[in-house]
């Protein structure tokens, strides 16, 4: 039992009682993306391993330590996608979507896989909503993509989320900055903590947000990325901020945002939750102007973001954000005896054919049990059928909220009678 009835580590089941909220969140994302002119793309769960080595970067933690990679029966090295951008970029290039007019604007809602050590909001199967825009190099594109994520987060009603942005420059100016950082920290390497010593070579920018007080003090005097941006990158970053300000979006510039994927250039951003117990990034993204070329395609700029659906749902739950009511049964047809059960069966199906959510007994239970069930599923109306009703061709339509009953025909005019009565009732409610 222990093994067979337990979902694998770092995964979980989405149960019927939870799917409605997910659908609600997904609907907001989809709607916001489509408002911005993005269209859905669905790519395979697995790709050639090479795609992520080249695209995401073979020295990143995600690629080095966290990929689900295996050899298939044909000897190919296959990897479950650890993120969504590489696959979308691959598909865009493969199908030459850039010939259908620029920019190419894509969105997706998919699961990603990373071999993580799980914690709350850190899973091995995670769900991301993401968008990618290709062929737009202008800062207005950066601002629009950020605006899209910002809009979706706002529409969901999330609170305590801050937008943090940074520019990590182009490969040229970033290399100069890394060099300057290395020189600065190397001079004081005997004071740095052990972790930061290892960061010195791998990713010196990480030292900037080390939690050790000593490192923080040293980092405070370190060179700033923004001072090392080339003119083009600086102008671009300033323009992005200007657009965001024009749009009335609040943000802070956080020079320590680095992002863990190699493909990023220039603008990077994160949406960070400060909800107590849930202080993590619920989404992030940036520009990746070199990605398409790195994948062997034509040089085409790009940018996008990923929002962590699992984390967003966690925060929404923590903030007790209300979700729209679930679809519930409209009419429950209770019955007593076989003839009535058959009649209920037929009437329920007739209602469904007219688009009315109807249920009837399929457990051959007693009337009381059926009424309890109708209550449990929040049926709006019930109708009880028995020998008397079958004989008279009439039954009572009961409003479960008010207890009010009205006579209803169960003959050929049943649907019409129901529609008339239920309309009258809802009119009364207003």
- Binding positions for RNA, 21-80, rule CB under 7 A: 60-62, 66
Interface stretch with RNA, choices 2-10, 100-108, 319-327, 343-351 (CB under 7 A):
2-10
Strand partners, 79: 47, 69
Interface stretch with RNA, choices 18-26, 288-296, 377-385, 409-417 (CB under 7 A):
377-385
Interface stretch with RNA, choices 16-24, 25-33, 341-349, 371-379 (CB under 7 A):
371-379
DSSP 223: P
Check if the beta carbon of residue 139 is closer than 8 Å to that of residue 101: no
Which residue has 């700033």 as its token pair? 224
Alpha-carbon distance of 399 to 381, in angstroms, equals 5
Which H, E and C letters describe 60-116, residue by residue?
A: CHHHHHCCCEEECCCCCEEEECCCCHHHHHHHHHHCCHHHHCCCEEEEEEEEEECCC
Nearest approach, Cβ of residue 383 and RNA (Å): 8
Alpha-carbon distance of 37 to 43, in angstroms, equals 19
Q: Please, which of residues 322-361 interact with RNA by CB under 7 A?
A: 334, 336
Nearest approach, Cβ of residue 376 and RNA (Å): 5
DSSP-based three-state secondary structure for 248: coil
Q: Is 384 one of the binding residues for RNA (CB under 7 A)? A: yes
Nearest approach, Cβ of residue 199 and RNA (Å): 6
**Burial class for 208, CB neighbours closer than 10 Å (0-12, 13-18, 19+):** buried
DSSP-based three-state secondary structure for 216: helix
Relative to beta strand 302-308, strand 161-167 is: unpaired
Nearest approach, Cβ of residue 75 and RNA (Å): 26
Question: 290-329 mask for RNA (x: CB under 7 A)?
Answer: ----------------xxx-xx------------------
Q: Which is nearer to RNA, 93 or 210 (CB)?
A: 210
From the list 224, 372, 407, 426, which residue makes contact with RNA (rule: CB under 7 A)? Answer: 372
DSSP-based three-state secondary structure for 302: strand
Strand partners, 80: 46
Q: Please, which of residues 96-135 interact with RNA by CB under 7 A?
A: 114, 116-123, 126, 128
Q: Which is nearer to RNA, 173 or 261 (CB)?
A: 261
Count of residues engaged in binding RNA, rule: CB under 7 A? 73
Q: Which is nearer to RNA, 225 or 261 (CB)?
A: 261
Nearest approach, Cβ of residue 167 and RNA (Å): 16
Distance of alpha carbon 388 from its chain centroid, rounded? 53
Nearest approach, Cβ of residue 387 and RNA (Å): 5
Structural element, H or E, at residue 350? helix 338-353
Interface stretch with RNA, choices 102-110, 168-176, 316-324, 385-393 (CB under 7 A):
385-393
From the list 28, 133, 161, 395, which residue makes contact with RNA (rule: CB under 7 A)? Answer: 395
From the list 398, 408, 418, 422, which residue makes contact with RNA (rule: CB under 7 A)? Answer: 398
From the list 106, 210, 233, 313, which residue makes contact with RNA (rule: CB under 7 A)? Answer: 210
Check if the beta carbon of residue 169 is closer than 8 Å to that of residue 229: yes
Distance of alpha carbon 309 from its chain centroid, rounded? 3
Interface stretch with RNA, choices 167-175, 182-190, 237-245, 376-384 (CB under 7 A):
376-384
Q: Please, which of residues 178-197 interact with RNA by CB under 7 A?
A: 195
Nearest approach, Cβ of residue 308 and RNA (Å): 3
Residue 221, Ramachandran bin (φ over 0: left; ψ between -120 and 50: alpha; else beta): alpha
Nearest approach, Cβ of residue 306 and RNA (Å): 4
Nearest approach, Cβ of residue 235 and RNA (Å): 26
From the list 229, 258, 347, 410, which residue makes contact with RNA (rule: CB under 7 A)? Answer: 258
Alpha-carbon distance of 357 to 379, in angstroms, equals 9
Which residue has 């920019």 as its token pair? 103
Angle, to 10 degrees, between the axis of helix 139-156 and the axis of helix 231-246? 40
Nearest approach, Cβ of residue 313 and RNA (Å): 11
């Amino acid at each position: 039992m222990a093994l067979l009835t337990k979902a694998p580590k770092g995964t979980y089941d989405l149960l019927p009682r939870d799917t409605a909220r997910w659908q609600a969140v997904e609907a907001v994302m989809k709607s916001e993306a489509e408002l911005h002119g993005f269209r859905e793309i669905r790519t395979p769960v697995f790709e050639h391993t090479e795609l992520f080595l080249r695209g995401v970067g073979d020295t990143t933690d995600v690629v080095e330590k966290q990929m689900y990679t295996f050899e298939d029966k044909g000897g190919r090295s296959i990897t479950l996608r650890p993120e969504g951008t590489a696959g979308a970029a691959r598909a865009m290039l493969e199908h030459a979507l850039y010939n259908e007019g620029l920019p190419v604007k894509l969105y997706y809602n998919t699961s990603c896989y990373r071999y993580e050590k799980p914690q709350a909001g850190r899973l091995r199967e995670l769900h991301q909503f993401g968008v990618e825009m290709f062929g737009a190099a202008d800062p207005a594109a950066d601002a629009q993509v950020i605006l899209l994520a910002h809009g979706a987060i706002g529409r969901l009603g999330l609170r305590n989320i801050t937008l943090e942005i940074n520019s990590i420059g182009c490969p040229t100016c970033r290399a100069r900055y890394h060099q300057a950082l290395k020189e600065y920290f190397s001079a004081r390497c005997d004071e740095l903590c052990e972790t930061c010593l290892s960061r010195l070579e791998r990713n010196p920018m990480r030292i900037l947000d080390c939690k050790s007080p000593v490192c923080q003090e040293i980092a405070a005097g370190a060179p700033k990325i923004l001072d090392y941006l080339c003119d083009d990158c600086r102008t671009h970053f300033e323009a992005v901020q200007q657009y965001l300000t024009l749009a009335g979006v609040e943000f802070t510039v956080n020079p320590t945002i680095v992002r863990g994927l190699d493909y990023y250039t220039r603008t990077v951003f994160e949406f960070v939750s400060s909800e107590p117990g849930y202080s993590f990034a619920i989404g992030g993204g940036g520009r990746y102007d070199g990605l398409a070329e790195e994948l062997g395609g034509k040089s085409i700029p790009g940018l996008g973001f990923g929002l962590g659906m699992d984390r967003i749902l966690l925060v929404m739950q923590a903030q007790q954000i209300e979700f729209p009511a679930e679809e519930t049964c409209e009419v429950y047809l209770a019955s007593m005896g076989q003839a009535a059960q058959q009649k209920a069966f037929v009437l329920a199906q007739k209602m469904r054919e007219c688009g009315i959510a109807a249920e009837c007994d399929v457990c051959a239970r007693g009337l009381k049990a059926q009424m309890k069930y109708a209550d449990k599923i929040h049926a709006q109306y019930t109708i009880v059928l028995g020998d008397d009703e079958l004989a008279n061709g009439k039954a009572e339509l009961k409003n479960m909220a008010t207890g009010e009953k009205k006579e209803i025909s169960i003959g050929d005019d049943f649907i019409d009678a129901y529609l008339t009565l239920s309309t009258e009732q809802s009119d009364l409610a207003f």
